[in-house]
Amino acid sequence: MSEFKSGFFVGGESCNGRVLVVDDEPDIRKVVRMTLQKAGYDVLEAENGEKAIETINYGENRLLLDVIICDIRMPKVNGIEAIAYFRQNYPRVPLIVLTGFPDTEMATSLLRQGVVDYLVKPVEGEKLKASVARAMEQRELAHL
Amino acid sequence: MTTISPTMSHPQTENQGIEPTPVPLPMRVAIIGAGRGGTALLDVLHQIRTIQIVGIADQNPSAAGLKRAQELNVPVYDRVADLIKQQGLNLVMDVTGDPAMESVLQKEVPAGTDVVNGQTSRLLWLLVQHESTLQTELLHAEKLAGIGSFAAGIAHDMNNPLQLILGLAENLTDETDLEAVHLQARDIIDAVKRTTAICRDLTSYSRRSSLRQDCLISVNGKLDEALKIARYAVALQDIEIRKLYQPDVVVKGNPDELLHVFVNLITNAVQAMEHHGTLTLETKAMAAATQVCVSDTGSGIAPELLGRIFEPFFTTKPPGKGTGLGLYNIKNVIHHMNGTIGLESHVGRGSTFTLTFPGESGADERRTRP
C-alpha cells in the first residue's frame, strides 16, 4: 500500500479515477483507501475540510480530481462547510458523504445540494465502490 | 459574581449592579437527636436560607448526625439542656422518638418556643425522606434526558471503529500476505476495545447515583472523566482546552453526582461558545477550601437572566434542547456537599462558574476515589 499522506497528489498512472477522501479519522481514510485502491482508484487523503480545500486547489487536482468522499463531523472546516465550498467552486466534481451519524434532515438537505450519495458508516466495500462508480459516471457526463 | 450558597442569605451580584434583597430574620431551630432522622433534617434545613440551625444534641457522641453537623459548622451538644437554653429559639425538633424526652422538653423548653415531637416529628422525617428521594430521581431523570443529546457523539465514536473493523475484515477475506493479516487482525482487536470502552463509559455514567457514603474524590481525575463524557454531547475538536490543575486536589462528596455536575458545566460552556473558543478547567487547593473553575469564552449570560438560571425548568435553549434542570441540580448537589457556586459572566466575552468546597485538600490520598 502506498504511503500517501494528506494532501498533495503528485501524479500517477492512469487509473479508474482519482478520489479524495476527507475524514479526520486516519483509520477511516486507511480502509477507504484500501478498498478503493483495490478497485483501481487513485486515492488522496485530507484530514479535514481545510486540508481538502487545499488539496483540490493544488496543481492538477483542480482538473483531475474525479470524486470527493467527505465526512461531516470534522475539526476546523467541517463537512457541511467544505461541501458548500466544493459545490460552489467545483460543481462538476461529484460528492459522496460518508458519515458516522445518520441524520435524515441533513441527508435530505445535502442531496438537494447535489450530493450524489449519503452513506452511513459502517458501509460495506461493495456499496462504497458502487457509489463511487455511480459518481464517476456522473463525472463523465459532466465532461460531455 | 453571583454566589449561590447554603450559608448566604441571598445571591449577590458584584458586577451586575443588582442590590441584595432584604433578608427576614431566620427561624432559629434546635434539633434533638442525631440519628438518621436528625441527619436527614440537618441536610434539608441547612439548605433553607430562612432557617438557622442553632445546634444539634445527642447523648451518643458517635451519632452520625453529630459528624455531619460538624461538617456543616452546626454547633454540637451532648446535653439537651445546654442546647435548649440558647437564646431566641423559635422551634425545638425532637426526633429521638423517646417518650421520656417529651416530658423533659415540656418542663425545660422556655415559653414562646414551639416543640415538634412524637408522630408530628415522624411525619416530618417521612416528608424529608420523600423530598430527598424526589431530588435523587430528578437528578437521574435530567441525566437520562441529557444522554439523549449524546446520540451524534456516540454514533460517531461507534461507527468509525466499526467502519475500520468491517473494512479490514472484508480485506482479510482475500489477503494473502500473512504479515498484513496479523497487522490487520491486531487493528481489529484494538478497534473492538475502543468500542467497548465507549459502552463502558456510558453505562457507568448513566447508572443511578450510588447511595454509598460520601468519599474523597480526585477532582482532576473527575474533570478528565467528565471531558470524556461531554464530548459525546458536544463537539470538542475545535475547542482549545486549558487544564490548570493543581496536583492532588480532592473534595468530599458523591463521585457520580460530581461527575454529573462537571459534565453539565462543560457541556454548557461548549454550547455557549458555539463549538469554537477556549474552555479552561482550573483546580485550586487553598488553606481552608478547594476551588474548581470552569470558564468559557462564549456568549455570556445576560444580566437580567443571572438571577434565574438556577431556577428549576428555566432554560434559554430551544425546545427539546434543554430540560432547564441542569443548573438547578448542580446547585442541589453542590449544596449537599456544603459548597457554593459563584458565577461571573460578561455578555460576548464568556462565563466562569466557580465551585468552592470546604477544605479537604491534603487529605489522605488512600481514601480518594477516582
- Facing B164 at nearest CB: one of A28, A103, A120: A28
Rounded Cα–Cα distance for residues A47 and B160 (Å):
14
- Tell me if B160 and A30 make a contact (CB, 8 A cut-off): no
Q: Given the C-alpha cell 497528489, which residue does it identify?
A: A9
Domain identity same for B278 and B350: yes
User: What distance in Å separates residue B201's CA from the closest CA in chain A?
Assistant: 19
User: pLDDT of chain B along its 370 residues, tens only?
Assistant: 555 544 333 333 334 444 555 666 889 999 999 988 888 888 888 878 799 999 999 988 888 889 888 888 899 998 999 998 888 899 999 999 888 898 888 888 888 899 998 888 888 888 888 887 888 888 888 888 888 788 888 888 899 999 999 999 999 999 999 999 999 999 999 999 999 988 888 888 887 766 656 788 999 999 999 999 999 888 888 899 999 999 989 998 989 999 999 999 999 999 999 878 999 999 999 888 999 999 999 999 998 888 888 887 788 777 666 778 889 889 889 988 888 899 999 999 999 999 999 875 444 444 445 4
What residue type is A139 in one-letter code? R
- Three-class secondary structure of residue B169 per DSSP: helix
- Examine the fold and report which residue of B185, B206, B227 is the final residue of a domain before the chain moves on: B206
Domain identity same for B288 and B189: no
User: Distances from the Cα of A8 to the Cαs of A20, A55, A58, A65, A74, in angstroms?
Assistant: 10, 6, 7, 11, 19
Facing residues of B358 across strands?
B289
- Tell me if A122 and B156 make a contact (CB, 8 A cut-off): no
Domain identity same for B31 and B75: yes
End-to-end CA distance of chain B: 31
- Examine the fold and report which residue of B66, B100, B116 is the final residue of a domain before the chain moves on: B116
Interface test with B, best of A35, A51, A73 (most B CBs within 10 A): A73
Q: Tell me which residue range forms the domain holding B182.
A: 147-206
Rounded Cα–Cα distance for residues B282 and B294 (Å):
7
Judge contact between B109 and B32, C-beta under 8 A. Answer: no
Rounded Cα–Cα distance for residues B248 and B258 (Å):
16
Task: Classify residue B90: in a domain, yes or no.
Answer: yes
Fold of A17-143: Rossmann fold (3.40.50)
Strands B51-57 and B114-116: unpaired
DSSP-derived secondary structure letter, A20: E
Q: Given the C-alpha cell 475538536, which residue does it identify?
A: B237
- Tell me if A27 and B187 make a contact (CB, 8 A cut-off): yes
Interface test with B, best of A1, A24, A25, A27 (most B CBs within 10 A): A27
Domain identity same for B201 and B323: no
Domain identity same for B236 and B353: yes
- Tell me if A101 and B152 make a contact (CB, 8 A cut-off): yes
Q: How sure is the predictor about A17, in pLDDT bands with cuts at 50, 70 and 90?
A: very high
- The CATH number linked to B167 is 1.10.287
Cell of B285: 487547593
Domain identity same for B182 and B323: no
Q: Which chain A residue lies closest to B158 (C-alpha atoms)?
A: A100
Domain identity same for B307 and B258: yes
Nearest to B197 by CA among B186, B189, B209, B208: B189
Rounded Cα–Cα distance for residues B307 and B18 (Å):
9
Task: Classify residue B20: in a domain, yes or no.
Answer: no
Q: Which chain A residues are within 8 Å of B167, Cβ to Cβ?
A: 30-32, 34-35, 122, 125
DSSP A47-70: SSHHHHHHHHTSTTHHHH--EEEE
- Facing B155 at nearest CB: one of A27, A76, A100: A100
Task: Classify residue B121: in a domain, yes or no.
Answer: no
Domain identity same for B259 and B292: yes
Query: Is the full-model pTM beyond 0.80?
Result: no
Nearest to B258 by CA among B283, B241, B237: B283
Q: Which chain B residues are within 8 Å of A74, Cβ to Cβ?
A: 237
**pLDDT confidence of residue B308:** 85
Q: Residues of chain A whose C-beta is under 8 A from some C-beta in B?
A: 24-25, 27-28, 30-32, 34-35, 38, 73-76, 100-103, 120-125
Rounded Cα–Cα distance for residues B253 and B359 (Å):
12
Task: Classify residue B1: in a domain, yes or no.
Answer: no
Strands A117-120 and A95-99: parallel
Q: Which chain A residue lies closest to B174 (C-alpha atoms)?
A: A38
Nearest to B83 by CA among B91, B24, B125: B91
Interface test with B, best of A43, A121, A127 (most B CBs within 10 A): A121
Q: How many structural domains does chain B have?
A: 3
- Tell me if A74 and B237 make a contact (CB, 8 A cut-off): yes
What residue type is B65 in one-letter code? G
User: Distances from the Cα of B149 to the Cαs of A64, B107, B233, B343, in angstroms?
Assistant: 41, 60, 6, 25
User: What distance in Å separates residue A6's CA from the closest CA in chain B?
Assistant: 18
Domain identity same for B202 and B240: no
